[in-house]
Amino acid sequence: ETGVTQTPRHLVMGMTNKKSLKCEQHLGHNAMYWYKQSAKKPLELMFVYSLEERVENNSVPSRFSPECPNSSHLFLHLHTLQPEDSALYLCASSQDVDGNSGNTIYFGEGSWLTVV
Amino acid sequence: GQNIDQPTEMTATEGAIVQINCTYQTSGFNGLFWYQQHAGEAPTFLSYNVLDGLEEKGRFSSFLSRSKGYSYLLLKELQMKDSASYLCAVRDEDYKLSFGAGTTVTVRA
């Protein structure tokens, strides 16, 4: 248990569906992240939120839409995805976005997404 | 972009020692992290280095040389449960964390 909870753990969706991934952190952190993990590839940073404001958007296609209603919750809304978007989507949090005290990032278990 | 290299796979015997190397080229440096990830699970934090030298935590140690852009993670007295992927990650001058592709370590009996 890392203090970061993601739901659902597994999701299969068609290319025309609309679905959402949910993340909740119980660590009192100010920063939250979405990462994409594909087989044999490095973790790719998608979005960063600091105190509910988006501070990073790494050229992610608009079919991925993040939402951060408060510092404990983060969503990733999915719409008209492609099969190549199938991957493990990891949510993470840290105390802040800067480097104070090492600022370790803690990950959730991930949501396995399959687009058919 | 940032470049972080680590071997894809390593195999070792239970009780042995394995050293996982990581080399990096980043714009600035604000710390290096090692994470362990078991199949189907979240990456979990193992170690953090920001100054040169060796950090020891039980059976795991991590070394950093900033001038060489090099780190290693040393796993001693290997156990079967150490079979996992080990991720090297570097924080750059903008405090952005970039990851290597991970090293899959298989421990054999």
pLDDT in tens, A26-65: 999 999 999 999 988 889 999 999 888 888 777 899 999 9
Instruction: List chain B residues with CB under 8 Å of A110.
Output: 41-42
- Asked if B99 reaches chain A (Cβ–Cβ under 8 Å), the answer is yes
3-state secondary structure of A26: coil
- Asked if A105 reaches chain B (Cβ–Cβ under 8 Å), the answer is yes
Query: Across the interface, which of B35, B89, B101 has its CB nearest the CB of A40?
Result: B101
A11 touches A113 (CB < 8 A): yes
Strands across the sheet containing B53-57: B3-5, B18-25, B70-75, B60-65, B53-57
Distance from CA of B51 to the nearest CA of A (A): 11
- Asked if A59 reaches chain B (Cβ–Cβ under 8 Å), the answer is no
Reported as a single tens digit per residue, the pLDDT across B46-83 is 999 999 999 999 999 999 999 999 999 999 999 999 99
Asked if A45 lies within 8 A of B96 by C-beta distance, the reply is: yes
User: Is a pLDDT exceeding 80 seen at residue A81?
Assistant: yes
Reported as a single tens digit per residue, the pLDDT across B23-54 is 999 989 999 999 999 988 889 999 999 999 99
User: What are the strands, taking DSSP E only, across A1-116?
Assistant: 4-7, 10-13, 18-25, 31-37, 44-50, 53-57, 64-70, 73-79, 87-94, 106-107, 111-115
Q: Cα separation of B73 and B52, whole Å?
A: 14
Asked if A56 lies within 8 A of B42 by C-beta distance, the reply is: no
Query: Given this model, what pLDDT does residue B73 score?
Result: 98
